[in-house]
Chains A and B, each alone.
Chain A
Amino acid sequence: MDLLVALYEGFLRIDPQKPDSPDRDRFILSKGHAAPALYAILAERGFFPGNLLNDYAKDGAALAEQPAPGCAAGVEWATGSLGHGLSAGIGMALAGRIQKRNFRTVVLLSDGECNEGSVWEAALFAAAQKIGSLTVLVDYNKWQATGRSEEVMALAPLRSKWEAFGWEALEINGHDYAEIGEALEVAKKTDRNRPLAIVAHTVKGRGVSFMQDDNNWHYRIPNEEEVKKAEKELLGT
């Protein structure tokens, strides 16, 4: 969530009035299961009315649990199956090169998603194509669906993996806005001839004492009482 806020509040050059502008920056939430966070921030930025959020995931609603193609303004790509977003983002970035447009492309991956071979096919190709306008953010929360991501697939050292694949790579605290901002400043540089990977260490469910770093909340829906408790912890109200 903090990564999305930083992207949408200070990095992405996008205009909610012109969501299809060919020069807009592209953002792909490749970890489609985090779609509610994206919907919330797109509504906040004015891409669509906030009341759409009230119908989230109900029958017939615009906003599904995972985003469908063209479901709402500002949603660039339908994700949900992991390992697709980076290739699509590379295609968009290369289209920008061919069409001589200066937009940037950002793809947010989960650490579990980095199990997918297609991510690393894409990583090799992006480095070969020297796509300096491309940035990957990895939400490195150390969990995947049923276990610690390190135990399932030995991801570490993740930063040096991206470096070994020919990328410039940074490692940051994904909840520290100053560190996120500094890394995104690197992403803004126009003289890059390598894609940039920002490995952001995060804590799943951070800020809610009974949720954070507990993978059970990958599946659970909080009840009314738990929602109130979480709101109190997050907002102090």
Chain B
Amino acid sequence: MRNAFAEEITQLARERQDVVLLSGDIGNRLFETFKEVAPGRFFNCGVAEANMVGVAAGMAASGLRPVCYTIASFLTYRVMEQIRLDLGYHHQKVILVGTGAGLSYASLGSTHHSVEDMGMLRLIPGLAVLAPGDSEELRAALRAAVDWSGPVYLRIGKKGEPVVHPSRPKVKIGKALRFREGKEVWILSLGNMLPVAMEAAEQLNQKGICCGVASMGSLKPLDTDLLTALFDSAKAVATVEEHSVLGGLGTAVSEWFAANAPASKAKLVTFGTPDEFLHATTHQPSARGWAGLTTDNIVKRIALALGN
């Protein structure tokens, strides 16, 4: 996803003179073309993320459209107050791009995991939280973010993720993207879990369970029209995310469900990382295994929820 981001932001810089890229000293050789295309509009802000976000806010206040790029865990946790005040309170149009989000950097340990980021950022009034499902969705989401009326957190993976979208989707902030239509079951997938969700849906359909998939690329605002439709008709709705079961998509859907669909008979099944730190040495697949974010586990628990 990060290569797609670098290409798309470079293209945007060609098209728009107000696009500025700030990096937290990462992206080795990733932005060479950007620097050629937009000299004077690339800033390596060093390992000083709080300052980077404050600087971006000041730029946005002068009419620029700054994009801050660094590893998701470093862009969010330490910088929470700058995000809250300089971006949220001032409602500045800054785009934060957190790369290697979720368990993408599993092998680097919990310092590099970001599985609480969305839970924190979802609390900031006026901040959109986006997590595109693949590189094609990311390119469209980045363009939507640049045109959005307030600050945006765009949470992306690292590299080599499978592409699920057959072509560039039309991304609208606040709207999910539906892939395959379901009847009994819907899997709501967030970010880079999309290929796993698709595989799980395929297996459920082979078992005769009609399972749909939607990419919840916009966690906030949440696509409540879609939720209304699904909880009206489905027997089970599952959320799948490389994020803690606390605070992210599972929580957002639970909150909506509890407040808005009291008559629904649908069961909600949430998949995410447990409320504990991962101390073991892992890589992304084994870390997903630890969290139960595997095709097998998703199929098994959904079937259980249906009473099969």
Q: Which A residues contact B (CB, under 8 angstroms)? A: 22, 68-69, 76-78, 81, 84, 86-99, 117-118, 121-122, 124-125, 128-129
Of B40, B54, B89, B91, which is within 8 A of A87 by CB?
B54
Answer whether residue B63 sits at the interface, using C-beta atoms and an 8 A cutoff: yes
Answer whether residue B125 sits at the interface, using C-beta atoms and an 8 A cutoff: no
Residue of A with least CB distance to B79: A118
Q: Do A78 and B89 form a contact, CB below 8 Å, given A98-B20, A121-B48, A128-B46? A: yes
Pick the most buried of A93, A121, A122, A129: most chain B CB atoms within 10 A of its CB: A121
Residue of A with least CB distance to B55: A91
Residue of B with least CB distance to A79: B85
- Tell me the total A-B contact number using a CB cutoff of 8 A: 98
Pairs A–B under 8 Å by Cβ, sample size 18: A69-B89, A77-B61, A78-B85, A78-B89, A84-B86, A87-B51, A89-B58, A91-B59, A93-B58, A94-B55, A95-B64, A97-B40, A98-B59, A118-B50, A121-B51, A124-B46, A125-B55, A128-B46
Q: When the two chains form their complex, are residues B54 and A84 in contact, meaning their CB atoms are under 8 A apart?
A: yes
Answer whether residue B81 sits at the interface, using C-beta atoms and an 8 A cutoff: yes
Residue of A with least CB distance to B90: A69
How far is it, in angstroms, between the C-alpha of A94 and the C-alpha of B82 when the chains are bound? 18
B28-57 Cβ-contact flags toward A at 8 Å (1 or 0): 000000000000110101101011011111
Answer whether residue B60 sits at the interface, using C-beta atoms and an 8 A cutoff: yes
How far is it, in angstroms, between the C-alpha of A125 and the C-alpha of B54 when the chains are bound? 12
Q: When the two chains form their complex, are residues A121 and B50 in contact, meaning their CB atoms are under 8 A apart?
A: yes
How many Å from the CB of B112 to the closest CB on chain A?
21
B77-97 Cβ-contact flags toward A at 8 Å (1 or 0): 000011001100111000000
How many Å from the CB of B80 to the closest CB on chain A?
11
How many Å from the CB of B44 to the closest CB on chain A?
9
How far is it, in angstroms, between the C-alpha of A101 and the C-alpha of B227 when the chains are bound? 48
B51: A residues at CB distance < 8 A: 87, 90, 118, 121-122, 125
Q: Do A84 and B82 form a contact, CB below 8 Å, given A69-B90, A94-B43? A: yes
Pick the most buried of A87, A121, A124, A128: most chain B CB atoms within 10 A of its CB: A87
Of B40, B43, B58, B63, which is within 8 A of A88 by CB?
B58
How many Å from the CB of A216 to the closest CB on chain B?
29
A89: B residues at CB distance < 8 A: 58
Answer whether residue B111 sits at the interface, using C-beta atoms and an 8 A cutoff: no
Q: When the two chains form their complex, are residues A125 and B62 in contact, meaning their CB atoms are under 8 A apart?
A: no
Q: When the two chains form their complex, are residues A95 and B54 in contact, meaning their CB atoms are under 8 A apart?
A: no
